[in-house]
Every structure is written in C-alpha cells, then in structure tokens.
C-alpha cells in the first residue's frame, strides 16, 4: 500500500501564462536553469477543471446548509471549501508538479488561454485568480508575441481566425498583469515580449528578478542559447 506523502512546506510558486509559438518552452528551460526552480510543461489546462470543481462546492456551501436527509441539498452543511482547496493543492503537488528534494520554486507553463478556451477576459482573470489561491504567493510571467508573427508559426496557419484570436489573447494577457498586481499586490505578475527577450536575455533576467526568483544570469543566457528539441525559438 502506497503511503500518502505530505505536501512539501515553504514552496514558492511560478507559472508561465502564454499562447502557442511564443518561445515559452525556451522560457521554461531558462527558468529550470535557476537554482532550486522546477517548472513543468503544459498540462492541457488541467487546473481549469479543478477550479470549476472548487467553485461548485464553494457555491453549495455558501447557499445551502442542509443536514437532514430529507433536504435536496443534504450534506451541504458539512462542506469545507478551504479544506478542499488545501487537498487539491496537495494532489497537484504530489501527482502533477512533483517537486524534488531540492526544489524551492515549483510551477508550470500553459498556452491554453486564448478565446475558445475562455469565453471572455473576466473568465480568464477568474481562473488566474484561482491559481493564485491554489498556489499561495504565485508569481505570474505573462509572455506575448506579435500576433502576426505567431500566426505564421507552427500550427497557427491552419486556423483561419489565428490573427484575431492571437490579437485578443495578447491583449488579455497584458491586461491581466495590471489586474493581478492590483488584486494580489505589486510584483506578483510581470509581462515580457518575445521580440525583446529573444534578442536580449537581460529582459527575462530582469523579469525573473522582479518576481523574486533566484538569480543565475549566465545559466539563463546559456539555456536560451540552446536549440530546442521541437525547433529553434529564434
């Protein structure tokens, strides 16, 4: 029988919020070059379902307090959304992010933030706020690229609405930097642009430092200079 492990204590959290063909895998590699930092890759937006689940339980617990078996909301009196949130956090850490013994910062990157995944900006922002509750103190790195350039890259040419979709997504992510810093406090979210950091790694180095991540400037530069397995980010 496998014993359940306790969630590691005193972890810090970071996530890369972006869209396809923006150089985000290079960012992921450079973050993993920092001491004590472990950033996993995409997870098909698995956290969306967890957020919806928690929201449903929270609404039931807020609106109904039924303890009698004859009531249609029987059992709602004993629901504890905060306990559920802590349990979801333990689950994600143990089964998805899987920090190592020397991990101090843990996180992931995700590209599924464009319209089609979110119906409106407010829905996207609500999800990003949920991530900030799931991972206390979470730092957000919003990475964008010029829509016309991203639309010519990778799988986007197969999407006839690519330019419109990417233009909207870029605007959403940049707007979310301000809103998340207003909501959680300063230095929680930072925005970077592929056009800038791909020619000057110091842009990313400064962004990482501004978010409070460990410093390893040469390691970041070396990671960005490596050719990626799925193709160059240059």
Mean pLDDT, range 22-34, rounded to an integer: 97
Number of domains in the chain: 1
Looking up tokens 């919806």 gives: 52
Asked whether residue 52 is domain-assigned, the answer is: no
Angle between helix axes 202-210 and 217-225 (nearest 10 degrees) is 130
Asked whether residue 120 is domain-assigned, the answer is: yes
99 within 8 A of 38, measured Cβ to Cβ: yes
Tell me: the pLDDT tens digits for 41-72? 999 999 999 999 999 999 998 888 878 898 88
In the predicted structure, residue 231 carries a pLDDT above the cut 70: no
Q: State how far the Cα of 210 lies from the Cα of 203, in Å rounded to an integer.
A: 11
Asked whether residue 167 is domain-assigned, the answer is: yes
Q: pLDDT-based confidence at 29, cuts 50/70/90?
A: very high
Asked whether residue 74 is domain-assigned, the answer is: no
Q: Which residue range forms the structural domain that includes residue 212?
A: 14-47+90-225
Looking up tokens 């991540």 gives: 213
Asked whether residue 84 is domain-assigned, the answer is: no
Average pLDDT over the chain, rounded to an integer: 92
Tell me: the pLDDT tens digits for 167-223? 999 999 999 999 999 999 999 999 999 999 999 999 999 999 999 999 999 999 999
Q: Which two tokens stand for residue 146?
A: 């010029």
Number of residues that make up the chain = 234
Q: What pLDDT score does 142 carry?
A: 98
């Amino acid at each position: 029988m496998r014993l359940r492990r306790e969630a590691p204590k005193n972890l810090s959290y970071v996530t890369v919020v972006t869209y396809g063909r923006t150089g985000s895998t290079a960012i992921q590699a450079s973050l993993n070059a920092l001491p004590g930092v472990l950033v996993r890759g995409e997870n098909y937006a698995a956290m969306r379902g967890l957020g919806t689940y928690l929201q449903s339980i929270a609404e039931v617990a807020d609106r109904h307090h039924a303890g009698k078996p004859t009531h249609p909301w029987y059992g709602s009196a004993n629901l504890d959304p905060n306990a559920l949130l802590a349990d979801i956090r333990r689950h994600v850490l143990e089964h998805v992010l899987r920090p190592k013994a020397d991990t101090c910062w843990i996180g992931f990157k995700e590209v599924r933030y464009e319209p089609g995944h979110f119906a409106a900006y407010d829905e996207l922002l609500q999800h990003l706020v949920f991530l900030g509750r799931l991972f206390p103190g979470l730092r957000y790195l919003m990475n964008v690229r010029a829509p016309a350039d991203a639309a010519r890259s990778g799988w986007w040419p197969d999407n006839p609405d690519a330019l419109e979709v990417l233009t909207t997504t870029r605007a959403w992510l940049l707007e979310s930097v301000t809103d998340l810093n207003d909501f959680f406090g300063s230095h929680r979210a930072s925005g970077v642009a592929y056009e800038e950091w791909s020619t000057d790694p110091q842009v990313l180095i400064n962004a990482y430092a501004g978010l409070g991540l460990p410093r390893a400037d040469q390691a970041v530069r070396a990671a960005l200079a490596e050719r990626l397995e799925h193709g160059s980010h240059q």
